[in-house]
Amino acid sequence: MPIVTSRYRAPVMPRGGHAQTVWAAVVRRVPRLALRRERIATPDGDFLDLDHLDPEGPCRGVAILSHGLEGHSRRRYMLGMARALARRGWAVVAWNMRGCSGEPNRLLRSYHSGASDDLGVVVDHVMATWRHGPVALVGFSLGGNITLKFAAEPGEKARERIARVVAFSVPCDLASSAARLARWDNRLYMHRFLRTLVHSVQEKAARFPGRLDLAGIERMRTFAEFDERFTAPIHGFAGAQDYWRRCSSRPMLPRIQIPTLIVNARDDPFLTPECFPVVEATASACVHLEMPARGGHVGFVSFAGDGEYWSEVRAVEFLSDA
């Protein structure tokens, strides 16, 4: 598909990549939504918590939303997207990755950038209970990478009923994105991520004595250190590089046979040039790549009277053809 020319025009303030990222995550306000929680079992004896939002008016389909690193179903970007979709008649299922719903998961394993098997559990559950209309997937950041990976993986009958896929701010090359986040200008993001990741590992160590070595964990400053020490071995990878290589969605994009939109802002402070799959999108019959000049990481701020951000309007627009 040709590269999509973006119509997004950032407001005067906040304008830069960092400003949009922080504004959307901290300043934005989204009204409380009437979410309904459901817990489903995973094949390995764990659980996933899903939050449902009913559509306003006649239902046209169901959208499954996947959050980002150390996020959950009630982050502002998740609520904003859920509200926008429900307004247009979409039922919404916003799922929480393992350990992200406010209650620790049962097993040593948690979630990671390639955990498409858990998204598959959610999709299978929705397919089993959803009897009418199309199913769409929307993912953000880490959740966007998982969503694209899932869409590319063969052998899932459920994919035959997935009509469209949308992914925002996707670190589809995990190694380069990890290196980008280790730079000095991203130290505040890295500090925030590692603080909560370390807390989760410490909680795991208390519940699984002898399984994790916490020596020196307080001195970790990068994803390279954390993923090498914890993410990779816990989830069956040989090390951080093996984890990043096997879970990055970019090499898988040529396999996607579902209409897919990837939106990565050029000023996203989390992304590198390797995270903009121009070659893959140009050669694909299904993958559309849109690269607004502005937008930050899961930002795309706009001040429309209805309170919706541009990313939400864009997602609804792309899904409207489903």
What per-residue confidence (pLDDT) applies to 157? 57
With respect to residue 292, please indicate whether it lies within any of the assigned structural domains: yes
pLDDT at 2: 77
Distance CA 138, CA 151 (A): 11
Q: Which pLDDT score is estimated for 317? A: 97
The verdict on residue 66 lying in a domain is yes
Instruction: Report if residue 4 sits inside a domain.
Output: no
User: Residues 77-133: pLDDT tens digits?
Assistant: 999 999 999 999 999 999 999 999 999 999 999 999 999 999 999 999 999 988 778
Q: Which of 112, 268, 288, 311 is labelled catalytic?
A: 268
Assess whether the previous peptide bond of 14 is cis (omega < 30° from 0).
Answer: yes
Q: Tell whether 190 and 274 lie within a shared domain.
A: no
Cα–Cα dist 264/298, whole Å: 9
Considering the domain architecture, whether residues 114 and 261 belong to the same structural domain is answered as yes
Domain span including residue 46:
17-173+253-319
Q: Domain end: 247, 271, 298, which one?
A: 247
**How many distinct structural domains can be found in the chain?**
2
Q: Which positions of the chain have pLDDT values less than 70? A: 155-159, 322
Q: Are residues 126 and 48 in the same domain?
A: yes
pLDDT of residue 144: 98
User: One of 141, 176, 177, 311 is an active-site residue; which one?
Assistant: 141
Same domain, 156 and 47: yes
Give the pLDDT score at 132: 74
Domain match, 76 and 168 both: yes
pLDDT at 208: 97
- In angstroms and rounded to an integer, the radius of gyration of the C-alpha atoms of the chain is 19
What pLDDT score does 252 carry?
A: 97
**Is-contact 151 162, C-beta < 8 A?**
yes
Q: Say if residue 211 is in the same domain as residue 259.
A: no
From the number of C-beta atoms within 10 Å of its C-beta (0-12, 13-18, 19+), residue 181 rates as buried
State the catalytic residue, choosing from 52, 113, 297, 311: 297
Residue 268 catalytic?
Answer: yes
Q: Which of 197, 217, 247 is the last residue of a domain?
A: 247
Are 26 and 107 part of one and the same domain?
Answer: yes
Q: Which runs of E-coded beta strand occur in the chain?
A: 36-41, 47-53, 61-66, 90-96, 135-140, 162-168, 260-263, 287-290
Q: Clarify whether 297 is annotated catalytic.
A: yes
